[in-house]
Amino acid sequence: MGAHRLGRAHGLALAHDVFEGNIAETKTLARMLERLALPSEGKAAPKTVVIIDAGFASKANIALLKERGLGYVVNITRGSRARYAEDFAAGGFEPVPGRDPKSPVEVKHIEDPEDPEGGLILCRSALRREKESAMLSRAESRFLEDLAALRERVESARLKSTEKIERAIGRLQKKHPRAARFYTLRHVGGALEAVRDEERHAGAAALLGDYVLKTERTFSAAETWSLYMILLRAEEGFACLKGSLGLRPNFHQLECRVEAHVFISVLAYHLLSWIRETLRPAGESRDWKTLRRLLSTHSLVTTALPLKDGRVLRIRKPSQPDPEQSLLYQKLRINWKAAFRPIKSFAKL
């Protein structure tokens, strides 16, 4: 299993390691702190901050970060946000400055009842709410489709055994946990009843787009949110590599090949990070998926010219970029004419 922890304000990869496949994520943090050469207790630089997701956020790991004098930002699991429903409903949020008005993010600081030295940042994102709402809607639609199919099997007596029906209900709930938690399914008198818990569903819908960050008191709500975005950019970067380059999943069995595969993934992520950090000061905020699609039509073209002596002259040169592609090359500080000089080669027929 490859592991990577990211640091610095730009989210560049500083180190990576390969762990045993069966090791728990919570057991990897101490080793990665050593790999990143982060200081131990009493030697931490004032602005050294470790940003981790919920999979690493055990109490022991939080205590370890405190012992080493390190700042921390942790994303609490999505299932825990219901504990703070009253705090979300109470208002008092402030907008994160510099955000696009079409995708606002609001934040609010509250006390952490479990950690008097730390604090909690409640975050509310319009884009995230839209995304989670769509995900929940699709999940519920798929659940209802499978429920209708199961109900038809029961009511048509193609599935008669009570034991088999109960097992089928269990499989349905296991297959659709996101939506099934709102429904109570009962097999009564040859029929399958489904009752939705409207109160629970409404409560979950009210929290869509909301999430909670755990941090120490030294950061403001807006600063904490900005730090957390570094981790999200890293996750989005590796998601791009998975989709565009097919670097995940990792099917290798030999350790040396696993290490090579992980190294290539990190190397590719370095390149992607360089592209994003080069474009950001130039005011380019579009994501990599959009930029990749934009540049995909600028290609190298090979022209074959038969000669009288039987040879073939092949000239390989780039096509002419459109204005938007040329502007993107300028932002990347790439001279496309110098980078893609024509190449001539001869070959026999």
What tens digit of pLDDT does each residue of 61-75 get?
888 888 888 888 888
Q: Which long-range contacts (CB under 8 A, 24 or more apart) does 190-198 make?
A: 190/154, 190/155, 190/157, 191/151, 191/154, 191/155, 192/147, 192/150, 192/151, 192/154, 192/155, 192/165, 194/147, 194/151
Q: Is residue 104 part of a domain?
A: no
Range of weakest confidence among 13-22, 178-187, 335-344: 13-22
107 inside domain: no
pLDDT at 8: 47
pLDDT score at 47: 57
For the chain, what is the mean pLDDT? 83
Mean pLDDT of 158-175: 91
Residue finishing a domain among 173, 205, 237 = 205
* Count of all residues that appear for the chain in the document: 349
More confidently predicted of 63 and 183: 183
d(CA 222, CA 106): 9
pLDDT digits (tens, 9 = 90+) for 264-295: 888 888 888 888 888 888 888 788 888 888 98
48 versus 181: which is more confidently predicted? 181
Which pLDDT score is estimated for 40? 54
- DSSP 3-state assignment of 38? coil
Classify 306 as helix, strand or coil. strand
Give the per-residue pLDDT at 118: 79
Query: Could you list the residue range(s) of the whole structural domain that residue 314 is in?
Result: 297-348
Contact residues for 175 (Cβ-Cβ < 8 A; gap 6+): 146
Determine how β-strand 49-52 pairs with β-strand 71-75: parallel
**Residue 189: is its pLDDT beyond 90?**
no
Provide the domain count of the chain.
3
Question: Same domain for 135 and 194?
Answer: yes
Query: Which residue would you say has higher pLDDT here, 322 or 248?
Result: 322
Domain assignment of residue 183, yes or no? yes
* pTM confidence score: 0.71
**Residue 7 in tokens:** 């640091």
- Whether 51 maps to a domain, the answer reads yes
Per the structure block, which two tokens stand in for 25? 């994520």
> What DSSP state is assigned to residue 280?
G
Is 134 in the same domain as 187?
yes
Do 183 and 226 fall into the same domain? no
86 domain residue, yes or no: no
- Most confident range (mean pLDDT) of 117-131, 170-184, 279-293, 302-316 is 170-184
Element (H, E) at 94: strand 94-95
Distance CA 259, CA 218 (A): 38
Going by pLDDT thresholds of 50, 70 and 90, the confidence category of residue 9 is low
| pLDDT value of residue 246 | 66
Whether 210 and 72 have beta carbons less than 8 Å apart is answered as no
Q: For residue 338, give the amino acid letter.
A: A
Q: Answer whether residue 71 is part of any domain.
A: yes
**Is residue 95 included in any domain, yes or no?**
no
Question: What's the token pair of residue 307?
Answer: 């000669």
Per-residue model confidence as pLDDT tens digits over 212-265: 998 876 678 888 888 888 777 777 777 777 766 666 667 777 888 888 888 888
Rounded to an integer, what distance in angstroms lies between the CA atom of residue 145 and that of residue 152? 11
- 305 lies in some domain: yes
The pLDDT-based confidence of 7 (bands split at 50, 70, 90) is very low
- Rounded Cα gap, residues 204 and 209, in angstroms: 10
Structural domain ending residue among the three candidates 205, 231, 248: 205
pLDDT band per the 50, 70, 90 thresholds, residue 60: confident
Name the residue with higher pLDDT: 134 or 18. 134
**Domain boundary at 149, 172, 205, which?**
205
Give pLDDT, residue 247.
65
pLDDT in tens, 24-43: 777 888 888 887 766 554 55
